[in-house]
Chain A
Amino acid sequence: MKRWFNLTTPRGLISAVLMMFAFGFMLVPLYDVFCEVTGLNGKTKGQYQGEIIPTNSERIITIQFVANRNDNLPWPFSPQQEELKLRLGERKQTSFQVSNSYDRAVVAQAIPSVSPAIAADYLNKVECFCFQQQPLEAGEVKSFPLVFFVDPALPETITKLTLSYTLFDISDTTTASAR
């Protein structure tokens, strides 16, 4: 006798459920790709790999540096200069000071953010302390270097940009990856 219902429909539906579960996780890389393609979110890219072509752009912009600590950190963290003016395409070096006020060794990670977000794509870092996790000895005072230039293709409307770093204590998180 023929079964009075078949299992085709439930099978299809269960695979749809599994696919949507996987899709939930796929949203994570999709989100990153989307932000990278569209340049949203103010995330800067990794280390600049190309040649630095000298330019004779006359446009001068202001860049401000902000240092934030994640709420529970008592460490002093500040930029060497709060603000500097530079020509587009000009290579600049600055640094950030941090001291570990704990009496134990820690690992710190700085996360950059650029405002306005659209400028993130034009801020190229040749060297940045944010590329690596930063081990700090107990009581150590350290100067974090930052070497960067701003792409001359920066939209005309932007005359001032802010680069902020938020410092996190990631001593507990061993698997955290650098960005």
Chain B
Amino acid sequence: MSGHTETAHHGPAKGWTRWILTTNHKDIGTLYLVFSLIMLFVGGSMAFVIRAELFQPGLQLVVPEFFNQMTTMHGLIMVFGAVMPAFVGLANWQVPLMIGAPDMALPRLNNWSFWILPFAFAMLLSTLLMAGGAPDFGWTFYAPLSTTYAPPSVTFFIFAIHMMGISSIMGAINIIVTIFNMRAPGMKMMDLPLFVWTWLITAFLLIAVMPVLAAVVTMMLMDVHFGTSFFNAAGGGDPVLFQHVFWFFAHPEVYIMVLPAFGVISQIVPAFSRKPLFGYHSMVYATMAIAVMSFIVWAHHMFTVGMPLTGELFFMYTTMLIAVPTGVKVFNWVSTMFRGSMSFETPMLFSIAFIVLFTIGGLSGLMLAIAPADFQYHDTYFVVAHFHYVLVPGSVFGIIAGVYYWLPKWCGKMYDEKLGQIHFWLSFIGVNLTFFPMHFVGLAGMPRRIPDYALQFADFNMLTSLGAFLFGTTQLLFVYILIKTIRSGKPAAQLPWDGAKGLEWSVPSPAPYHTFSTPPVVSDK
């Protein structure tokens, strides 16, 4: 970097190599977001296969083995390919802009952590073409299904998980270092916007649990290929151990997928209520409390595994305790809106839907937390309904809300508000039509991960499938809106939302390639 002059305010490099060699946080943020949008459609088309097969009872379209591959790959791709990279993309774009930093702290690491992902997912998707098929043991890959009885492609799955893990860990390190060291002069930790706070806490969760995921897949690798018996009872191991280690990773992972969405909502709700966020400090502490508690609740996923009563009670009570900080957040959002001068543009609509529907998902989570009741709900569609309510109108709506909110800043153009509203309402109807009936079939006893079901579930399953087709195709409208905005949107003002506050709105729209080359000065707020 020594060669170039101080005056050169150069823009992006020319040609396609720009995207491969870039170390610019905005470019990398865009790459992450585009990648996750593609993965949303890849994972979504798998959901399409699942819902088409379940449209009617009986086996119509696919063989059960392929159905299992679809449920497995759908879960893996949506979790690791769509939701997580989308949040990293939002962080890449927004964290430097919101704390007044010129870029991420470790730009080359940033480039690397993105460019691992396409290879990891190419590897994971290539298993669909392999002899024996893709992984078919569910996204939770319980041993011995994923070891003794796994298809040969499990090795590719393991290495793909390793690569995704490395990418996430590097992304998390980058975000923490940026937030700790590159805040604008005068910006104290308790001045950070909530999106930055929630991402900081998420990044610590990633650093704590992604290595545990790496450890558990490494143990699988050794069991499959090197004759160890971590999860093999014949050699003195224990398959239940797998579940403990896996959920020790996967429960915090659940919060990794939702805390940044909390952050996005905490930016948007005050902006469109034209009031400061209610209870900023309690929001920060509630997020920390959720993160800390996520480490001591993991076995609530395994109530039926045969735990002693004390264990059941411990995990039941700690799980219910998490509802307290989560409730603090929900009440704070509602209090922020209370007597605010509200307007309902698309980002706000998605945010309000987030609050309502995420709360539904949270309540069904509380039902599942009751150990004796969970014995009935376990592995039914009720569980599927629960986690889709927190992940789709939770995480995904959070991401979409963030994209609409910051899109004018990113590309300097305004999206079409009318189309945005249509996108919202179709998504809202689609999401509820898809996932609400799942509660009923689940309570009535329909197990998850089956390609065929008893006749009494037929009507609700058909409704669910119709909702899924509606929700899926509606997202094509989202792509159309994005393209239309970038191509022919009306120019956006520097501050397109009159109630929005924060450093990201102090730069012009579109945000120049290099921002905050001289740090902004943050005085007392």
- A: residues with CB less than 8 A from B are 5-6, 9-10, 13-14, 16-25, 27-28, 31, 38, 40-41, 70, 109, 111, 117-118, 166, 168-170, 173-179
Q: Contacts A14-B173, A28-B219 known; list 11 others, CB within 8 Å.
A: A5-B181, A23-B215, A25-B219, A28-B230, A31-B241, A109-B235, A118-B308, A173-B232, A176-B227, A176-B234, A176-B235
What's the least CB distance linking B484 to chain A, in Å?
39
What's the least CB distance linking A142 to chain B, in Å?
18
22 A–B contacts, CB within 8 A, in A order? A9-B181, A10-B177, A13-B172, A13-B176, A20-B207, A20-B209, A21-B212, A25-B215, A27-B215, A28-B219, A28-B241, A40-B311, A109-B234, A111-B233, A111-B236, A117-B308, A173-B232, A174-B227, A175-B229, A176-B227, A176-B236, A177-B235
Size bin of chain B's contact surface: 35 or more
Q: Which of B234, B236, B240 has the most CB of A within 10 A?
A: B234
What's the least CB distance linking A49 to chain B, in Å?
19
* The 6 A-B residue pairs with the shortest CB-CB distance in the complex, in nearest-first order: A24-B215, A168-B234, A176-B235, A20-B211, A21-B211, A24-B212
Contacts of B245 in A (CB 8 A): 24, 27-28
Contacts of B211 in A (CB 8 A): 17-21, 23-24
Q: Which partner residue on chain B sits nearest A111 by CB separation?
A: B233
Q: Report B213-228 residues with CB < 8 Å from chain A CB.
A: 213-216, 219, 227-228
Contacts of A17 in B (CB 8 A): 169, 173, 207, 210-211
Contacts of A173 in B (CB 8 A): 227, 229, 232, 234-235
Q: Which partner residue on chain A sits nearest B231 by CB separation?
A: A28
Contact A175 B228 (CB under 8 A): yes
**Interface readout for B38-59 with A: 1 if CB under 8 Å, 0 if not?**
0000000000000000000000
Query: Measured between alpha carbons, how far is A176 from B216 in the docked complex, in Å?
Result: 19
Contact B236 A27 (CB under 8 A): no
Contact B244 A31 (CB under 8 A): yes
Q: Which partner residue on chain B sits nearest A167 by CB separation?
A: B234
A166-B233 contact in complex given A31-B238, A174-B227, C-beta closer than 8 Å: yes
What's the least CB distance linking B165 to chain A, in Å?
10
Q: Which partner residue on chain A sits nearest B216 by CB separation?
A: A24
Q: Which of A21, A38, A109, A177 has the most CB of B within 10 A?
A: A21
Query: Measured between alpha carbons, how far is A175 from B234 in the docked complex, in Å?
Result: 11
- B: residues with CB less than 8 A from A are 105-106, 169, 172-173, 176-177, 180-182, 207-216, 219, 227-230, 232-236, 238, 240-241, 244-245, 248-249, 306-308, 311
Contacts of B169 in A (CB 8 A): 17
Contact B215 A178 (CB under 8 A): no
Contact A23 B212 (CB under 8 A): yes
Query: Measured between alpha carbons, how far is A31 from B305 in the docked complex, in Å?
Result: 15
Q: Which partner residue on chain A sits nearest B208 by CB separation?
A: A20
A40-B308 contact in complex given A6-B181, A17-B211, A28-B219, C-beta closer than 8 Å: yes
Query: Measured between alpha carbons, how far is A21 from B212 in the docked complex, in Å?
Result: 5
Contact B177 A5 (CB under 8 A): yes
Query: Measured between alpha carbons, how far is A41 from B211 in the docked complex, in Å?
Result: 27
Contacts of B105 in A (CB 8 A): 5, 10
Query: Measured between alpha carbons, how far is A117 from B228 in the docked complex, in Å?
Result: 26
What's the least CB distance linking A163 to chain B, in Å?
16
Q: Which partner residue on chain B sits nearest A178 by CB separation?
A: B236
Q: Which of A18, A24, A27 has the most CB of B within 10 A?
A: A24
What's the least CB distance linking A63 to chain B, in Å?
20
A170-B234 contact in complex given A16-B208, A24-B212, C-beta closer than 8 Å: yes
Contacts of A170 in B (CB 8 A): 234-235
Query: Measured between alpha carbons, how far is A176 from B230 in the docked complex, in Å?
Result: 10
Contact A175 B215 (CB under 8 A): no
Q: Which partner residue on chain B sits nearest A42 by CB separation?
A: B306
Contacts of B210 in A (CB 8 A): 17, 20
What's the least CB distance linking B295 to chain A, in Å?
11
What's the least CB distance linking A25 to chain B, in Å?
5
What's the least CB distance linking A100 to chain B, in Å?
16
Query: Measured between alpha carbons, how far is A131 from B181 in the docked complex, in Å?
Result: 58
